[in-house]
Amino acid sequence: MNSLIKSAVLKSAILTATTVIAFSVTPAIAADMTGAGATFPYPIYAKWAEAYKAATGNGLNYQSIGSGGGIKQIKAKTVDFGASDMPLKAEELDAEGLMQFPAIMGGVVPVVNLDGVAAGQLKLTGQLVADIYLGKITKWNAAEIAALNPGVKLPADDITVVHRADGSGTSFLFTDFLSKSSPEFKTKIGAGTAVKWAVGVGGKGNEGVAANVQRIKGSIGYVEYAYAKKNKMADAQLKNHDGQFVKADDDTFKAAAAGADWAKTPGFGVVLTDQAGKSSWPITGASFILMHKAQADAAKAKEVLKFFDWSYKNGGASASELDYVAIPPAVVKLVQEGWKTQLKDASGKAIW
């Protein structure tokens, strides 16, 4: 267990298509819960799963394959739950008979591999990052970058853009922010889990993007903050909605999440990019769980709910250690009310 986490999160080995499909929190056995999807929350799900198994004896087999894969697998009913960092719209949830709820919040950060540039030292704006990902700015010592970073020694190296190669909620959050920052980016690339990138090289999962950035000098990529922190990567400051340059951490993630109106958003589908507030991190997001409302295996579904109930109650400290943000108690209460009213067994009886 610990070796898997250390291999996937701390060392971030470049994943092959085979290993990403088999990526598991615990060895799969018949009694284990099964889930698949977003790589954004993998580090915290792994930590929760280890603690939950120690406390209850029940395991979780979670495949870290990207939000697109998680959505496909839950729709196909091949897993007990799917996970996505892009919330599904109410129409799609209704059409597929799915319930959606937030499990954790965190932030996506730009990361760079530049000699002599430390974490939090480089300043970037959404417009500037959009121009880099559009292929318009190609050198690190470009005037636009240098103007924001007086005193930072910027090399004349070419910029190598790294992006996700798989369907990704992390990509959705990143491209949603860039689309809000740049009309040209919105028109030419747009926001989505899978987009047609203008330039760059792809990596599978947050793990693959992190590994590529670590490997390629002069590169820029984007990953969930836990991957940047654990791998000691150089993340950049960003200019937020209020015009302030902020560093990524759980405080700036909390600031971005503070104004979210979960109760009035269908399916809890809150998007937290480019939120107002002088301390708000501009690429903040929630990661969501997807489950079928009609459950053929009520016992397994109830165990999934028990796992997330336990994690809501007991997982806050480990979430903070990894710089995620726990779901507020008031929102947890709304979520659990949804469990009671929406999730049913074959006879129509409430599962929770």
Distances (CA, A) of 123 to 114, 152, 160: 13, 10, 18
In this prediction, residue 205 carries a pLDDT of 93
Residue span of the structural domain in which 308 resides? 2-106+266-270+285-342
In this prediction, residue 30 carries a pLDDT of 45
352 is a domain residue: no
φ and ψ at residue 209, rounded to 5 degrees: -65, -45
- Based on the domain organization, do 27 and 85 belong to the same domain? yes
In this prediction, residue 259 carries a pLDDT of 84
277 is a domain residue: no
E-strand ranges in 59-168 read 60-64, 81-84, 98-112, 123-124, 160-164
CA dihedral angle for residue 241, residue 193, residue 248, residue 40, rounded to 10 degrees: 150
E-strand ranges in 89-150 read 98-112, 123-124
Q: For the segment 84-132, what is each residue's pLDDT rounded down to a tens digit? A: 999 999 999 999 999 999 999 999 999 999 999 999 999 999 999 999 9
pLDDT reading at 168 higher than 90: yes
Q: How far is CA 336 from the centre of its chain?
A: 22
Q: How many domains does the chain have?
A: 2
pLDDT reading at 22 higher than 50: no
Q: For the segment 198-240, what is each residue's pLDDT rounded down to a tens digit? A: 999 999 999 999 999 999 999 999 999 999 998 999 999 999 9
188 is a domain residue: yes
- Based on the domain organization, do 213 and 316 belong to the same domain? no
Average pLDDT, the chain: 91
CATH at 296: 3.40.190.10
In this prediction, residue 246 carries a pLDDT of 98
pTM: 0.87
pLDDT > 70: percent of the chain: 91
- Based on the domain organization, do 188 and 49 belong to the same domain? no
| Closest alpha carbon to 298 in 3, 96, 80 | 80
- Based on the domain organization, do 98 and 141 belong to the same domain? no
- Based on the domain organization, do 60 and 188 belong to the same domain? no
pLDDT reading at 9 higher than 60: no
